[in-house]
């Protein structure tokens, strides 16, 4: 199979570099284009210093301007900042490109699929409807917020088992979630910050769309009430989520554990390259998962979420658990690449 | 007024030293006795090096054995470890001493008052009942767990306003809560540990007793369901609690804020020396309280809990808020000294 | 005595706020003017939120533009950034103002006194020469780099005792030294950065001027060879310096300890308000000073440097020691205010 | 080639587990025996929980007592604590075993080779002399202190090039260097501790033996004066050393850089399994190496030391540089395994 050509927008940024690194040695994709706002015309390898990231042949590519007419690709990865994403991504989609975006700009639009490959691969069907409705040759597909991704992934098997009614989630998020330079060190050493801008809104809304079902060409949100309290703590990578949930049926921690442990999705069945053997790893030790020790657990480092301390709350219909996910892998680039693999497999890139 | 004589058990330990430091310059109390397990007979100042703690005249006291017959005091402060407390504190109470203990050993016994001076000063009445029932000349009074203290303090005015039904609290606790040497640094740098031994049980049960009411000489627990998830994070001092609660009546964040902000207790009305002007400080900035910045807020550093981000949850009868308290001051020695001041004022030390 | 009027440039910045806070309750000075680049015309208290800093009556001042004609003051405090300082401070000095600056812009100019009040108060005499030479009615006086300040302070009594020939200093500097937002947290958690821009040059040169002597109206540098290696470590406040030095005479650690311990300067003899009783505190415990524990040691918190582990090196003429200083107090605003007090006392503000 | 049988003492401890993990999948060695102080007779895999460490077939071994008669092996790895090592290791050597030890107990004995495989492989010749002198059938070979190892490795090529006369080294050491539980978190968050027990003595003496030459069956120390100042900083793994050195010949940073960069030793020439392609990696970026980013640099993660900022000091015959090494890999187990590989290759295990 000929590799599909992919282009990366904002390729000199922190997330863009990670895409270049991942995709420069990917079995399905080859980087045909790196785009950027500055340094256009320069050699990518002269602009991006290799700091532990292997950028391979991409070093020799010349940086292109962020314009549809300058790009040749079957798929566009867009880690653009929100405002730029809002403006620029539709231009690419209109020009016939499939765009996968990490930005929040279009996530909640009713015809944009917000995909976690293990959770709602069937939402990719919205692509056809989006193209028809917007009269575009291409389409926009979105990756959810990092914290929302991990939450939705864990809720999926529990919701199927017990119908989740209500969630109270308190997060302890790593500084890499704020990008670079991000959180000043003076703000976080020996400290906890009980606020992350716009984060709680996303955690409260995105999982409902992800866990929703397509009805008449649009998504009907899952009927779950999510209450989120988000905190920044002094860790580098790995978001912890402390989750309390109430279910319609009586909750048995052993059955919940089993459902989490046995959960696999379409990417596992298709054996996609970035699909971890287990999307959810359940630990039994009472003091696990721990951020520094477990953030790379599993067969594809950083792609599994790790759950521990599954236990009953005070009421019969409640469950409490702790969950860890790697915010810049499963919560960002890793998940997006898995979505791209799924789109290719499902015929959306032809 | 002649100062009351106080003795400190385990006086060479970490908390014991703090008692010696606080009480060596206290307007109501004078240290007549420092006791210890080891080093008995030695000069206190030769054993305890002054590391930023001013121990004043106590330096010249000789360390006594931990036996009732060796002690002369109107009141005993006991920061003994749990097992020793279970065994030794009753010996002192039986011998006629009033003992205030930080240990969990006797906290949940039905005739032992578990006191937060601003919350349940009236529970001191259990002392008389305890003496009668146990045929003791003295009595045991207990200080709650640090995390439970701060939670009960914040719940008090909200419960009075709206009747709290259910609480889900997720904590981010400082390493000083584990004592010294406590948490190994290898376990906490760039890490979060989602488990603290026995902590959740205490947080779920102690506030119910504290917020309870005396009925027929025993305490009837408050009818609140508390679900606690406790985490250790890389901070030195100051526990954060992220709190979601459901109330019987509809919850208005402004009214809750007002009730928290205006709350004062008996210690404030009595103007006790260790009583902060405001037991609860409410901050308006959306990213406060923060651990390193706010842990000493208020007129008596470390004695006020600091609340922020009071807001509605997704349902009408819910409130979310963030709270910070200094775990070794309001959560331990500071609170206990305030209880001692209250006991003196209320005539329990005559 | 009527208080002297002082103006603060860049008053809304991080260091400027600290000046406003310190000077708003100072026995010698009153703030007549707060200046700024932005927000001119606005009320200071509306722009600067009170985050633990007490800004008192200064809250009601209106922010003035950074122009000599807009300012009425006997003394100007300038925490301007380097480039702005280079351009703007001479304008104020020319217009007749005495300017004390934290910036490095003019520090090494031969007629600008670079003052540590305990070390080289006699260098203030350069002011007269500077005015004459530059035909200015005012003058510029500079405060050294934070790391250089602490080093020069500790070298002073040792140099007097033994004539220091060579210094090898390795620093472990706190993130607050880089200002705000300064060091990104992703760069420093679980990390050490072995480079601070322009820092080693300053540490190698400024102490030589400070310890120098005035000869024919200019300073002859001290004849010491300083080799500096500067590192950023994950601490909030407080720079550690690990110092090896070689002396002309044989070095006796006890005599060095005594000289450090007994050292006082003119500010101590004059009993100036910001002068700590001991500019240098020597600790005997083998594991001290420590950053978090000792950074506020002494009578004026943050104004004493703390020395420990004074010991011989492998050769007879060598000494090794560890030193801690509070970089934003003794290393910046605190030292500058002490210089202002000295200038007033010595008649330079009339 | 039949694999050689190795036994691991203290196999249930922190370093012991690492040996089991490394050696259970080693091309030259197979674990025939795991010994321990407690849990003897139990299955190794039941005692040692697999926390990210793969212990493979060793899980099924029964733990043996730490006695020569209980052990069957060609080589003994001993990570015993100092006092136990002093007592027990000679018993094994006397009984005919070759013992490689991490402990400091026997390091400085004149007939015990203190080996860094790239630096002084020829010192293994002391084994024969040791056996003869002590009338033992076996022998003790020692691995140096972690900080001394990295220092000696970097000094080796510089010393050969320029003859090093004097070294002043200031270290910033990770908490894992103190073992587990090791440094209490309360002691290190937002802190630096300027003292590590017995560390400076080792850093000042061990490299002299390592860089020494065998004369008449004993080692003549290298003629270098090392002055060490050791500090603990809040990092998990990876010791930084800030090094100033004076040389006999004039020091040219470019030549020093070249000598460091091109340095290889016997393990590289023999292509031993644990030998990194480059024992010393030289970085050009002015702010590298950094602890968290570079501690695993190189072909065998953790086995290369990383050097940066090679520059001249103030005098012509001086060099300053920064160096990072992984203290638990190159500084302990990794180095020891490499020594074992070398001993096997050189015929010492027949």
Residue C164, both tokens: 């220091």
User: CB–CB of C203/C148 below 8 Å?
Assistant: yes
Q: Under an 8 A CB cutoff, do B185 and D187 touch? A: yes
* Separation of alpha carbons D94 and D109, rounded Å: 16
Mean per-residue pLDDT of chain A: 96
Mean pLDDT, residues C29-41:
94
Burial of B286 (0-12, 13-18, 19+ CB in 10 A): exposed
Q: Under an 8 A CB cutoff, do C226 and D313 touch? A: no
Torsion angles phi and psi, residue D151, rounded to 5: -65, -45
* Separation of alpha carbons B195 and B231, rounded Å: 6
Helices (H), chain D: 14-23, 44-47, 82-94, 126-134, 146-162, 199-210, 253-262, 266-270, 291-294, 334-345
Question: Is-catalytic flag, D239?
Answer: yes
Q: Which residues does residue D125 pair with via DSSP β-bridges, in sequence order?
A: none
The partner residue sitting opposite D242, judged by closest CB among C170, C225, C235, is C170
* Separation of alpha carbons A318 and A311, rounded Å: 9
* Separation of alpha carbons A188 and A201, rounded Å: 23
Q: Is the pLDDT of residue D170 over 70?
A: yes
Q: Under an 8 A CB cutoff, do B288 and A194 touch? A: yes
Q: Under an 8 A CB cutoff, do C176 and A186 touch? A: yes
Q: Under an 8 A CB cutoff, do C182 and A185 touch? A: yes
Helices (H), A175-278: 199-210, 253-262, 266-270
Q: What is the pLDDT of residue A49?
A: 72
Which residue on chain D is closest to A50 by alpha carbon?
D285
D64-79 pLDDT, tens per residue?
A: 999 999 999 999 999 9
Q: Is the pLDDT of residue D320 over 80?
A: yes
The CA-atom distances, in angstroms, between C80 and each of A79, A286, C141, C339 are 37, 53, 14, 17
The CA-atom distances, in angstroms, between C138 and each of A300, C74, C94, C152 are 67, 10, 6, 27
Q: What is the pLDDT of residue A309?
A: 98
Residue with tokens 């760039």: B190
Q: Residue C280 — very low, low, confident or very high, per pLDDT cuts 50/70/90?
A: very high
Cis bond before residue A181 (omega within 30° of 0): yes
Q: What is the pLDDT of residue D217?
A: 86
Q: Burial letters for A248-278: b for 16+ Cβ neighbours within 10 Å, e otherwise?
A: eeebbeebbbebbeebebbbbeeebebbbeb
Residue B105, both tokens: 């050993």
* Separation of alpha carbons B137 and A168, rounded Å: 48
From C33, C40, C110, C130, select the one nearest C73 (Cα to Cα): C33
Mean pLDDT, residues D292-318:
97
Q: Is the pLDDT of residue D277 over 90?
A: yes
Residue with tokens 């940086």: A63
In percent, how much of chain C has pLDDT > 70?
99
Mean per-residue pLDDT of chain C: 96
Q: Under an 8 A CB cutoff, do A170 and B289 touch? A: no
Q: What is the pLDDT of residue A217?
A: 86
Mean pLDDT, residues C72-100:
97
Q: Is the pLDDT of residue A52 over 80?
A: no
In C, which residues are within 8 Å of B189 by CB distance? 190
- Return the partners of chain A (3 or more C-beta pairs < 8 Å): B, C, D
Q: Is the pLDDT of residue B268 over 70?
A: yes
The partner residue sitting opposite D189, judged by closest CB among A51, A190, A293, is A190
From B331, B291, B15, select the one nearest B149 (Cα to Cα): B331
User: CB–CB of C101/C109 below 8 Å?
Assistant: no
Q: What is the pLDDT of residue C25?
A: 93
Q: Under an 8 A CB cutoff, do C51 and B293 touch? A: yes
In D, which residues are within 8 Å of A52 by CB distance? 293
Which residue on chain D is closest to A298 by alpha carbon?
D52
- DSSP string for residues in A285-316: STT---HHHHTT-TTTTT-SEEEEEEEE-SST
Q: What is the pLDDT of residue B216?
A: 86
Q: Which residues does residue A164 pair with via DSSP β-bridges, in sequence order?
A: A247
Mean pLDDT, residues D118-132:
97
Cis bond before residue C181 (omega within 30° of 0): yes
Question: Is-catalytic flag, C239?
Answer: yes
Residues near B140 by beta carbon (within 8 Å), at least 6 away in sequence? B89, B90, B93, B99, B101, B106, B112, B130
Q: Is the pLDDT of residue D332 over 90?
A: yes
Q: Is the pLDDT of residue D32 over 90?
A: yes
Q: Is the pLDDT of residue C51 over 70?
A: no
The partner residue sitting opposite D291, judged by closest CB among C170, C190, C293, is C190
Which residue on chain C is closest to B283 by alpha carbon?
C51
What are the CB-based long-range contacts (under 8 Å, 24+) for C311-317? Answer: C311/C253, C312/C251, C312/C253, C313/C244, C313/C246, C313/D168, C313/D227, C314/D204, C314/D225, C314/D226, C314/D227, C315/C246, C315/D225, C316/C250, C316/C251, C317/C165, C317/C246, C317/C247, C317/C248, C317/C249, C317/C250, C317/C251
User: CB–CB of B108/B134 below 8 Å?
Assistant: no
Q: What is the pLDDT of residue C283?
A: 96
A145-166 pLDDT, tens per residue?
A: 999 999 999 999 999 999 999 9
Torsion angles phi and psi, residue B259, rounded to 5: -65, -40
User: CB–CB of D214/D126 below 8 Å?
Assistant: yes
Q: What is the pLDDT of residue A50?
A: 58
A210-244 pLDDT, tens per residue?
A: 999 999 888 999 999 999 999 999 999 999 999 99
C94-151 pLDDT, tens per residue?
A: 999 999 999 999 999 999 999 999 999 999 999 999 999 999 999 999 999 999 999 9
Name which residue leads in pLDDT, B270 or C180: B270
Which residue of D166, D175, D192 to mutate against C (max C Cβ within 10 Å)?
D192
Residue with tokens 């060596």: B24
* Separation of alpha carbons A247 and A160, rounded Å: 11
* Separation of alpha carbons C227 and C214, rounded Å: 24
Cβ pairs A/C, distance under 8 A: 56
B70-112 pLDDT, tens per residue?
A: 999 999 999 999 999 999 999 999 999 999 999 999 999 999 9
Which stretches of chain D sit within 8 Å of chain C by CB?
Answer: 168, 170, 172, 189-195, 204, 225-227, 229, 231, 233-236, 240, 242, 244, 286-293, 308-309, 313-315, 318, 320, 322
Residues B47/B48/B51/B56 CA torsion (nearest 10 deg): -120
Q: What is the pLDDT of residue B58?
A: 93
Q: What is the pLDDT of residue D194?
A: 98
First CA to last CA distance, chain D: 12
Q: Which of A137-141, C45-49, C334-338 has the lowest mean pLDDT?
A: C45-49
Helices (H), chain C: 14-23, 44-47, 82-94, 126-134, 146-162, 199-210, 253-262, 266-270, 291-294, 334-345
Sign of the Cα torsion D288, D289, D293, D294 reads positive
Q: What is the pLDDT of residue D49?
A: 72
Mean pLDDT, residues B205-230:
96
* Separation of alpha carbons B296 and B292, rounded Å: 9
Q: Is the pLDDT of residue D52 over 70?
A: no
In percent, how much of chain D has pLDDT > 90?
93
Mean pLDDT, residues B8-24:
93
Residue A34, both tokens: 């790196």
pTM: 0.95
The CA-atom distances, in angstroms, between C190 and each of A235, C196, D184, D193, D235 are 9, 17, 16, 15, 4
* Separation of alpha carbons D31 and D53, rounded Å: 15
Mean pLDDT, residues D111-123:
98
The partner residue sitting opposite B293, judged by closest CB among C49, C52, C292, is C52
Q: Is the pLDDT of residue B217 over 90?
A: no
Q: Is the pLDDT of residue D289 over 80?
A: yes
* Separation of alpha carbons C318 and C316, rounded Å: 6
Residue D128, both tokens: 């024969």
Q: Is the pLDDT of residue C1 over 80?
A: no
Q: Is the pLDDT of residue A53 over 80?
A: no
Angle ∠(C151,C152,C156) on CA atoms, nearest 5: 120
Burial of D262 (0-12, 13-18, 19+ CB in 10 A): exposed
A1-40 pLDDT, tens per residue?
A: 789 999 999 999 888 999 999 999 999 999 999 999 888 9
Torsion angles phi and psi, residue A163, rounded to 5: 55, 100
Mean per-residue pLDDT of chain D: 96
């Amino acid at each position: 199979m000929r590799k599909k050509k992919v282009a990366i927008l904002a390729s000199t940024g922190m997330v863009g570099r990670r895409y270049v690194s991942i995709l420069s040695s990917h079995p399905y994709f080859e980087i045909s284009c790196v785009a950027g706002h500055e340094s256009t015309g320069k050699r990518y390898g002269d602009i991006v210093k290799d700091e532990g990231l292997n950028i391979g042949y991409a070093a020799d590519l010349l940086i292109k301007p962020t314009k549809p007419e300058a790009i040749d690709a079957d798929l566009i990865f867009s880690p653009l900042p929100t405002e730029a994403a809002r403006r620029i991504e539709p231009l690419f989609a209109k020009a016939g490109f499939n765009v996968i975006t990490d930005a929040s700009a279009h996530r909640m639009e009713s015809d944009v699929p917000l995909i976690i490959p293990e959770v709602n691969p069937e939402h990719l069907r919205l692509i056809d409807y989006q193209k028809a409705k917007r009269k575009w040759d291409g389409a926009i597909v979105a990756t959810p917020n990092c914290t929302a991704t991990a939450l939705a992934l864990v809720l999926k098997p529990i919701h199927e088992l017990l119908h989740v009614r209500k969630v109270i989630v308190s997060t302890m998020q790593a500084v890499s979630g704020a990008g670079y330079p991000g959180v000043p060190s003076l703000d976080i050493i020996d400290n906890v910050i009980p606020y992350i801008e716009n984060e709680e809104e996303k955690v409260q809304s995105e999982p409902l769309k992800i866990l929703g079902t397509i009805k008449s060409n649009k998504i009907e949100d899952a009927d779950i009430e999510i209450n989120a309290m988000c905190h920044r703590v002094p860790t580098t990578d790995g978001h912890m989520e402390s989750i309390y949930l109430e279910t319609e049926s009586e909750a048995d921690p052993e059955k919940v554990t089993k459902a989490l442990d046995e959960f696999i999705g379409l990417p596992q069945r298709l054996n996609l390259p970035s699909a971890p053997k287990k999307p959810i790893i359940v630990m039994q030790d009472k003091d696990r998962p721990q951020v520094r020790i477990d953030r790379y657990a599993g067969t594809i480092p950083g792609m599994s979420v790790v759950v521990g301390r599954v236990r009953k709350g005070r009421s019969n219909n409640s469950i409490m658990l702790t969950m860890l996910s790697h915010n810049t892998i499963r919560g960002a680039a890793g998940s997006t690449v898995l979505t791209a693999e799924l789109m290719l497999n499902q015929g959306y890139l032809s």
